[in-house]
Amino acid sequence: MNAQPPVFELRDEDELSLDLIEAQYALRESQDQKNAKSVLVLVSGIELAGKGEAVKQLREWLDPRYLRVKADAPQRLSSDQAFWQSYTRFIPAEGQIVVMFGNWYSDLLATAMQDPKAFKDSAFDQYVQKMRDFENDLRQNHVHVIKVWFDLSWKSLQKRLDQVDPSEQHWHKLHGLDWRNKKQYDTLQSYSQRFTDDWFIIDGEDEKRRDQCFAQYILQTLQALPEHPTQVEQTWQQTSIPQELLVPDQNVLEKEQYKDQLNELTRKVAEAMRCDKRNVIIAFEGMDAAGKGGAIKRIVKKLDPREYEIHTIAAPERYELRRPYLWRFWNRLNDSGKITIFDRTWYGRVLVERIEGFASTVAWQRAYDEINRFEQNLTDCQTVIVKIWLAISKDEQARRFKEREQTLHKRFKITEEDWRNRDKWDQYLEAAADMFERTDTANAPWHVIATDDKYTARIEVLKAILKQLNVD
């Protein structure tokens, strides 16, 4: 929170521009370094307070090629989409600066102003907290979020409205308000006071001071390039490994019985997901060769290909590494009611990235809470998340690996890395145990299916989906 907001004196504009450009290029050069970050500027405020003018002036003082401005009309918050979903594509990568005129706070205000009776105070405050949590997760992932509110008195607003060219009046419909209506103005100011205590407030009365305060605040943010923290505060407490992971079930389902159950369950699963009005996400994790591909094939057996998408997650690309960890998953989510299946997921951070050292200890230890908030945001907005862990014994994995090597159309499934990963079998079990302990939640529980029998595993996967969808 900004207990003591910064105070800026007017500066020579040429010198200010030079400092801004130098800081802008230093930010760009921080890509892939220990002090890398991006800057996301959320802009909101009273109409005609000078938001657009301040951003325009900033662009003139900076190198305009490297300042992206995203401006959208406010939209009402949706009950079936997380507040951040329409904005995640525009979250800047390391070294980038993005200014968002339209942002989740604009949407929050639009929703509250358009339907104040339905949008109760408690809901408003809950959204504010969710937004702050999301922004904190962005900061932890090296996106420096700053928020700027441009304020203007009622009297000054009315004077400026008198001077607006009629041809430009359509631009001044922020939040769908009548800016001549004092009651609406006061209501908006009342709402703003409930979330702007961690914003930088700029008085829009003095145009020159307004533009300089905005630019100098951006400069201050650009110049701060601290190295990423590497030390954790507490000793990690390892969770005990569940017995079912240590000794998977050995019972075998007879083939004819399997076929009968499979036919019935694939039909029920397809019908349940097709008829459910919620989005459905099925997330697979587990040991290599545990049967994720085979299970997915049975899930979609009676679905039309247009009804679902399958994402096979591998190591992140370079451009993805420059963004928040969850960014590549945010942008794979469907918002059109489709079924989304993930073969490997966002849990890679607390599994393979933890074990192989691809993520710092600080990063993977904080990821559990980030993931829980991510999933909670989705389940709060009409999304069902089915998380499935497939477990087999180490001996069964070796048998399946050898079978793959000897089967022509399966050879592509086995690599030297798969064999090498077996050396860290116990570490994967420990990581899985920690994951279950910290991310098995009421809204998105884990379904652990531990069996050496492929037929049994496939049947149990289908049953888990029906259970999560509350279908008997």
Q: What percent of the chain has pLDDT over 70?
A: 96
Do 362 and 229 contact (CB within 8 A), yes or no?
yes
Nearest CA to 204 out of 335, 349, 46 is that of 46
CB atoms within 10 A of CB 133: 15
Q: At 345, list the tokens.
A: 């997921």
The answer to whether the 13-224 and 243-469 domains have the same CATH topology is yes
pLDDT of 218 strictly over 60: yes
Using one digit for the tens of pLDDT, what is the confidence trace for 421-466? 899 999 999 999 999 999 999 999 999 999 999 999 999 999 999 9
Q: What is the pLDDT of residues 77-107, one digit of tens each?
A: 998 899 999 999 999 999 999 999 989 999 9
**DSSP secondary structure string, 197-232?**
GGSEEEE-SSHHHHHHHHHHHHHHHHH--PPPP---
CATH homologous superfamily of domain 13-224? P-loop containing nucleotide triphosphate hydrolases (3.40.50.300)
Give the whole-angstrom CA distance, residue 463 versus residue 449.
11
Could you tell me the residue ranges of all domains in the chain? Answer: 13-224, 243-469
Q: Which residue has the tokens 């003139």?
A: 60
Contact of 371 with 347, CB cutoff 8 Å: yes
Q: How many CA atoms lie within 13 A of 148 on its CB side?
A: 28
CATH superfamily of 243-469: P-loop containing nucleotide triphosphate hydrolases (3.40.50.300)
Chain-wide mean pLDDT for the chain? Answer: 93
* Confidence at residue 172, expressed as pLDDT on a 0 to 100 scale: 56
The pLDDT, as a whole number, for residue 173 is 57
> Which range (54-58, 112-116, 241-245, 373-377) has the least confidence?
112-116
Mean predicted confidence (pLDDT) in 337-360: 95
